[in-house]
A and B are shown apart, each in its own frame.
Chain A
Amino acid sequence: MPRTLLDKLWSLHRIAPAGGGQDLVHIDRILLHDLSGARALTEVAEKGYAIPNPALAFATPDHAVATAPGRTAETFAKGAGGVHALRRGAATHGIRLFDLGEDGQGIVHVMGPELGIVLPGLTVICGDSHTCTNGGLGALAFGVGSSELTHALATQTLRMEKPRAMRVRFEGTFPQGTTAKDAVLAAIGRLGTGAAAGFAVEWAGSAVRALPVEARLTLCNLTIEMGARIGFVAPDEATFAWIAGRDHAPKGAAWDAAVAHWRTLRSDDDAVFDADHVIDAATIAPQVTWGTSPEHVIAVDAPIPDPDAAPDPARRKAWADALAYQGLAPNRPLAGTPVDWVFIGSCTNSRLSDLRDAAAMVRGRRVAEGVTAWVVPGSVRVKRAAEAEGLDAVFREAGFDWREPGCSLCVAANGEAVPAGARCVSTSNRNFVGRQGKGARTHLASPAMAAAAAVAGRIVDIRPMFRGGEF
């Protein structure tokens, strides 16, 4: 019987049936951060459980920590309790913590792959819905709630139902200026935010195969915005080359054995999926969201949708509400809309390749008058690597803030926020009402599109740049 990659990963980790249609599944990596991770460690302590496999857990503070230069856990006072609880729990149980100011600290979904903690074929959980990011390496990774996190810490397992298998293929070649971020936003726009509920999504096709590994992490990051907890790309030679030599990656004979195993981690050619979609890569232009859901997305040169043309009354109302919140009128292009803020960061787009893409738009230019622009590198490693090649200078000289690693304006849980009414082009993953701050208006876009918006002072199409033109 031909099998999907999901079938293979599931049976590899299934310990026993758990009743009620559930399986008892082994969890290979548990990642903890200062909100849910701290809460789960507290719960473990309150209930008096042991943590039998602390070497399989890793922790870092990222959510409720300030990103201002020189920050400590106390800089954002309300977040300090979570950081302290994380430190306490990690120390008590012997869990490796990458603390503020230390090498390795960063947004949990950036530091995990970067340090070789996440590897192909591993089951990975974190108390955070964007854990699916790690699927970019071919891991079975998903977000969990606080009870499940506690369960996994105490037992190294979860009881769960196997999801159904969906495949989304991008075939052909992405045009210049189109990134993984645009591809996944376009998929969400076409299929809808609920399309993959109950599924695990395998991102595939020739255009995905051609994506660099960091772009695959971006692609998988937004899987949750299509409704699926799990998204992955089958690992390949590019994946192995990217992982080789990372701190926690296997070495020597263990490496060879691992790679031999990882090469088996692909869907069989004739495997059948419960749902299968194909998208022509060549049709995807740079995307920008116009509304308050990731499915409210259009090509940068397309007109803003008209609620009167919505397919049903529920969406008519949702679109009208979104436009009112965003302060936009229908039927006009998004391009040209003035912006007040630009945020380059988050687990979606804060890796070195993202910062390079953004810097390429900024080099030799200035942030437009009246625009506040931030770059928040995803991790200490990313920050140092970017500084080593002078990207920080490019951003600083242009008038960007160059900050310390953390979630920052992606979720505004750390005292940093976009002011009410301000319009922000953001490389993050959620444009929900109030996500970047009470009353803040978010437009999701790729790093290059966000950087271009910062220097132009308005939403712009970056494609003329590649033909020697200007924004």
Chain B
Amino acid sequence: MQPFTTVTGPAAPLLRPNIDTDVIIRVERLVGTTKAEMGAHAFEVWRRRADGSEDGDFVLNHPQFRTAPILLAGPNFGCGSSREGAVWALAGAGIRAVIAPSFSDIFANNALQNGLLPVVLPEATIAALAEEVEASPGNARVTVDLDRMVVTAPSGAEHRFVIDPARREALLAGLDDIGLTLRQGEAIGAWQAEDRAARPWVWPMSA
């Protein structure tokens, strides 16, 4: 997993509430599409018109936000289906952090497994960030610093956020749950050695 330390860049404002995983990636894209290809389909229902052409009004189609690594969003981001494809699509589209007032639990957990940082800030703070970004077209930069747990606005104002300490440490080191668990390899090995003696029938001699 790609470690997350600090990300700086344009922050695309998409302040709608309840952006669901169906909108982030359509269900048809989950079949026969590799994870890497999913980025091209992120938000396609908004990104493209019915005839397949780009909708210039959609924020991620604006020239200054095309490569934005940060998304500013409304409350309950990532609700709906538990599909991990929503995270793969965002990550594939270059998004490293989503800043929202709240997230669906499943989405947030899936995001953390893939090095995508869900940052919770108050709705008013996010609205102010969005205003700043929109008022200075072209060069407004937002920074998400996980090490210091701070979001820096284009004006230089700093907003602190909180995250579970174990989660923060794992993201900084680039460890997903598997990485975290593999760190406990010794405890697992010791447990298994004891179990082989206590319940030998659980352990087949060969496959």
CA distance A16 to B191 in the complex (A): 9
Give every chain A residue within 8 A of B184 (Cβ-Cβ).
Answer: 15-16, 24
Chain B: which residue is nearest A96 at the CB level?
A: B207
A1-37 with Cβ < 8 A to chain B: 15-16, 18-20, 24, 26, 28
Residues of B within 8 A of A150 (CB): 178
Q: Provided the pairs A145-B82, A157-B181 are in contact, do residues A26 and B204 lie with their beta carbons within 8 angstroms?
A: no
Contact with B along A43-78 (1 / 0, CB 8 A): 000010100011111000000000000000000000
Contact A248 B204, CB 8 Å, known A16-B184, A19-B166, A147-B113: yes
A257 to B200, CA, bound (A): 9
Q: Is B177 interfacial (CB 8 A cutoff)?
A: yes
Cross-chain contact A151 with B204 (CB below 8 angstroms): no
CB distance from B30 to the nearest CB of A (A): 11
- Closest CB-CB distance, A401 to chain B, in whole Å? 28
Within 8 Å CB of A94, what residues of B? 207
Q: Do B202 and A122 have beta carbons less than 8 Å apart?
A: yes
The size of the chain B interface, using a CB distance under 8 A, is 26
Bound complex: CA A122 to CA B113 (Å): 27
Q: In this assembly, does A241 line the interface, its C-beta being within 8 Å of a C-beta of chain B?
A: no
B195 touches A26 (CB 8 A): yes
A155 to B204, CA, bound (A): 18
Contact across chains for B182 and A154 when beta carbons are under 8 A apart: yes
Q: Is the beta-carbon distance between B204 and A55 smaller than 8 angstroms?
A: yes
Given A154-B178, A155-B181, A20:B166 Cβ within 8 A? yes
**Is there a chain B Cβ closer than 8 Å to A258's Cβ?**
yes
Q: How many residues of A contact B (CB 8 A)?
A: 38
- Which one, B180, B182, B192, B207, contacts A54 given CB within 8 A? B207
- B200: chain A residues within 8 A (beta carbon): 250, 254, 257
Tell me the bound Cα distance from A19 to B170 in angstroms: 13
Q: How many Å lie between the Cα of A189 and that of B62 in the bound state? A: 53
Complex CA gap A155/B205 in Å reads: 19
Q: Given contacts A20-B164, A146-B84, are A258 and B191 in contact (CB under 8 A)?
A: no
In the complex, A317→B178 CA distance in Å? 43
A interface footprint on B184-207 (CB within 8 Å = 1, 0 otherwise): 100110011001000111111111
Query: Does B67 belong to the interface (CB within 8 Å)?
Result: no
Is B84 a contact of A159 with CB atoms below 8 Å?
Answer: no
A contact residues around B201 at 8 Å (CB)? 119, 250, 254-255, 257-258
Q: B104 within 8 Å of A by Cβ?
A: no
Do B207 and A15 touch across chains, with their CB atoms under 8 A apart? no
- Closest Cβ–Cβ distance, residue A80 to chain B (whole Å): 12
A55 touches B207 (CB 8 A): yes
Docked-complex contact A55 and B177, CB < 8 angstroms: no
Q: Is B110 an interface residue (CB 8 A)?
A: yes
- Residue A261 interfacial (CB < 8 Å): yes
> Which of A53, A122, A151, A248 is in CB contact (< 8 Å) with B181?
A151
Give the docked Cα–Cα distance between A26 and B189 (Å).
11
Complex contact B181–A56 (CB within 8 A): no
* Contact digits for A350-369, partner B, Cβ 8 Å, 1 yes 0 no: 00000000000000000000
Residue-wise interface mask of B (102-130) relative to A, using a CB-CB cutoff of 8 A (1 in contact, 0 not): 00000000100100000000000000000
Residue in B closest to A54 when the chains form the complex, CB atoms: B207
**In the docked arrangement, what's the CA distance between A96 and B204, Å?**
11
Per the bound structure, the CA–CA distance linking A18 and B204 in Å amounts to 28
Q: Can you pick out 23 interface pairs between chain A and chain B where the beta carbons lie within 8 Å of each other?
A: A16-B184, A20-B164, A28-B202, A49-B178, A54-B207, A55-B205, A57-B207, A119-B201, A119-B202, A121-B199, A122-B202, A145-B84, A146-B84, A147-B110, A150-B178, A151-B178, A151-B181, A154-B182, A155-B178, A155-B181, A155-B182, A157-B188, A258-B201
Residues on B facing A (Cβ under 8 Å)? 82, 84, 110, 113, 164, 166, 177-178, 180-182, 184, 187-188, 191-192, 195, 199-207
Given contacts A24-B187, A250-B201, 5 further A-B contacts (CB under 8 A): A28-B202, A47-B178, A146-B84, A151-B178, A254-B200
Residues of chain A at the chain B interface (Cβ within 8 Å)? 15-16, 18-20, 24, 26, 28, 47, 49, 53-57, 94-96, 119, 121-122, 145-147, 150-151, 154-157, 159, 248, 250, 254-255, 257-258, 261
